[in-house]
Amino acid sequence: MQTRQTRRYHHGDLRAALLTRAEETLREKGPAALSLRELARDLGVSHAAPSRHFKDKQALLDALGQVGFERLGETLTASQEAVGEPFADRLGALARAYVGFATGNAELLDLMFSIKHDPEASEALVRASRNMSTLAIRLIGEGQRRGEVRPGPVDSIALPLFTTLHGFASIAASGPLPSQTPDTDLENVIAFTLRGCAPDTPARDDQSRTPPR
Amino acid sequence: MQTRQTRRYHHGDLRAALLTRAEETLREKGPAALSLRELARDLGVSHAAPSRHFKDKQALLDALGQVGFERLGETLTASQEAVGEPFADRLGALARAYVGFATGNAELLDLMFSIKHDPEASEALVRASRNMSTLAIRLIGEGQRRGEVRPGPVDSIALPLFTTLHGFASIAASGPLPSQTPDTDLENVIAFTLRGCAPDTPARDDQSRTPPR
DNA sequence: ACCTGAACACCGTTCAAGT
DNA sequence: ACCTGAACACCGTTCAAGT
């Protein structure tokens, strides 16, 4: 009766338990304090047990990064659901979601983007990180159809857009900015990005300009 | 005579030697391979010797980050010397210099920006990193005086500008971008940034537009 | 299949002791 | 002042062995 009901401590999902605990200690004590042996200790298994699920410490870190990318992807996707159609609204929601994730998961974001993108990196990791840029591409495409984003190859706008958001998010996450007003900073970045995306003759306020030829 | 001329192995500048060697192994073998004991071995001193110069491994990493910021500052400053006055030229030179540094010193850049910006972090480190943003501020101020950058608080433009460059540089450094054409990517980012900075009525090519009121 | 225990080579840090 | 040698507690990884 002990084999069926009393599987005693953790079994079936030591892998998941390792990832969960790893994320906790990453958040609470930083990346330097992340050790396989301590993880095993916390979970009450022998120090060699993790090797059944992750061949390497790096393999665990990669898996953690993958979780991070998947969760970031979900967060960004969700940000587009309760928001209006105008491009400015969608971009604002995306930017706020990205920055919110970055400041709420600073150590994880750092880990995600410091993973070596070797050709040999886990395919799932690569897929998860690419999924994110797809979102930016969709956003730009839609903005162009609405005439709120200047025409041109989607990538030539989506990549700068993404790097701007990512740059601000990662700097905001890695320490207080020189400026003491993070909210204003974010609004400035959003406004800057909107200008970078806008058509040559802004359609928003001023109708007295000459229309594009 | 041995105390004056034959100081034997390294002495006077073990500290500098440690930093130099640390940067080499960081570049060649990555941050995970950076160990105080191996550094000491490489330099022919005992494994306890480094502690005379850096109280901690973290103290060495902070010092390494500081030299990184100083060198990046010099690189960016130098990029402004042999370039014309127009804002677009200056920005282009700055962006290319930043990305060049990032791709040429990927591991170091990563280390620089993953340093915890505690209030207790070395003052020199903080100063070195602030120096950089001063450059962006000067650039924007000058662009505004020339009428090539839209008016407004300098910070509201300088910060987005900086985050855009940094975001692209750090992504470009941390692995090949999805796109296979890094040069075009950089040009796209520069063009995007210029639009973000530009006055409402672009002064560049098309003179048939209505001038600003 | 999943885990344990022991073993190995490597760490960072500290501290008495040497010169 | 600057460095050594030994010691301590901690790693990651491997591998025979258990259930």
For A118-154, what is each residue's pLDDT tens digit? 666 777 777 877 888 899 999 999 999 999 999 999 9
Distance CA A174, CA B20 (A): 26
Neighbouring C-alpha atoms within 13 Å toward the C-beta of B8: 5
DSSP alpha helices (H): ranges in chain B?
14-29, 36-43, 57-79, 87-104, 106-114, 123-145, 154-173, 182-197
Distance CA A83, CA B89 (A): 39
**Test mutation, A60, A107, A159, chain B, max B CBs within 10 A:** A159
Assess A157–B contact: CB distance below 8 Å, yes or no: yes
Interchain contact, A163 vs B160, CB within 8 Å:
no
Torsion of CA A48, A49, A55, A56, to 10 degrees: -60
> What pLDDT does residue B41 have?
95
Neighbouring C-alpha atoms within 13 Å toward the C-beta of B152: 16
Distance CA A96, CA A185 (A): 11
Nucleotides of D under 7 A from a protein CB: 2-7, 10-16
Q: Which amino acid is at A132?
A: M
Domains of chain B: which residue ranges? 12-55, 57-197
Min Cα–Cα distance to chain A from B1, Å: 47
Instruction: Give yes or no for a contact between B30 and B107, defined as CB atoms under 8 angstroms apart.
Output: yes
Assess B77–A contact: CB distance below 8 Å, yes or no: no
Instruction: Give yes or no for a contact between A165 and B164, defined as CB atoms under 8 angstroms apart.
Output: no
pLDDT in single tens digits along all 213 residues of chain B? 322 223 344 667 999 999 999 999 999 999 999 999 999 999 999 999 999 999 999 999 999 999 999 999 999 999 999 999 999 999 999 999 999 999 999 999 999 998 876 666 777 777 877 888 899 999 999 999 999 999 999 999 999 999 999 999 999 998 777 777 889 999 999 999 999 999 987 544 444 444 444
Neighbouring C-alpha atoms within 13 Å toward the C-beta of B205: 1
Helix (H) or strand (E) holding A100: helix A87-104
- Which nucleotide has the shortest C1'-to-CA distance from A55? D13
Q: Which CATH architecture has domain A57-197?
A: Orthogonal Bundle (1.10)
For A1-57, what is each residue's pLDDT tens digit? 322 223 344 667 999 999 999 999 999 999 999 999 999 999 999 999 999 999 999
Convert A113-138 to b/e letters by CB count within 10 Å (16 or more is b). bbbeeeeebeeebbebbebbbebbbe
Residue B2: burial class (beta carbons within 10 Å; 0-12, 13-18, 19+)? exposed
The CA-based angle B79-B84-B88, given to 5 degrees, is 85
Task: Name the CATH code of domain A12-55 (choices 1.10.10, 1.10.540, 3.40.50, 3.30.1370).
Answer: 1.10.10
DSSP A2: T
Q: Read off the tokens for B58.
A: 């973290």
Convert A176-202 to b/e letters by CB count within 10 Å (16 or more is b). ebbeeeeeebbebbbbbbbbbbbeebe
Q: Report which of A63, A19, A109, A31 is spatially closest to residue B32, judged by C-alpha positions.
A: A31
Assess A33–B contact: CB distance below 8 Å, yes or no: no
